[in-house]
């Protein structure tokens, strides 16, 4: 499984996003799955990278929280059970990982 977390420079949620993905992967038994952190530093990179705002999570190249892609180096907001937040919940990420595993399988 290819896992990436795309963030812009100085994203206030980048460290939280990577740690959250690590916990989600570990929770579903994928403790050896690496996470690639990638900094998006230009609008051209944003367009070419399925970037939906910072942070964007990609699992095997797909955004499990599809929405509008952006060309700008902007923050992203996620709708969670507790309201709007800078990252999805760990449960949301776990479910996204599990859906990906089922579709591969």
pLDDT in tens, 66-98: 876 677 899 999 999 999 999 999 999 999 999
Domain count, the chain: 1
Q: Which residues of 42-64 are buried (b: 16+ CB within 10 A; e: fewer)?
A: eeebbeebebbbbbbbbbeeebb
Question: What is the distance between the alpha carbons of residues 46 and 53, in angstroms, rounded to a whole number?
Answer: 8
CA distance to 7, 64, 88, 92, 98, per residue, from 83 (Å)? 21, 19, 10, 13, 23
Instruction: Dump pLDDT digits (tens) for 18-31.
Output: 999 999 999 999 99
Q: What is the CATH number of the domain that holds 69?
A: 3.40.30
Question: Which element (helix H / strand E) includes 47?
Answer: helix 43-48
Range of the domain at 19: 3-104
Question: What is the distance between the alpha carbons of residues 77 and 84, in angstroms, rounded to a whole number?
Answer: 6
pTM exceeds cut of 0.85: yes
């Amino acid at each position: 499984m290819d896992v990436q977390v795309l963030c812009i420079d100085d994203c206030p949620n980048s460290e939280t996003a990577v740690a959250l993905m690590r916990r989600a992967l570990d929770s579903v038994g994928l403790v050896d799955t690496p996470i690639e952190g990638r900094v998006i530093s230009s609008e051209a990179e944003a367009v070419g990278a399925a970037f939906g705002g910072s942070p964007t999570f990609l699992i095997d190249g797909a955004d499990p929280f599809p929405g509008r892609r952006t060309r700008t180096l902007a923050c992203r907001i996620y709708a969670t059970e507790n309201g709007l937040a800078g990252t999805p919940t760990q449960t949301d990420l776990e479910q996204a990982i599990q859906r990906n595993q089922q579709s591969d399988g």
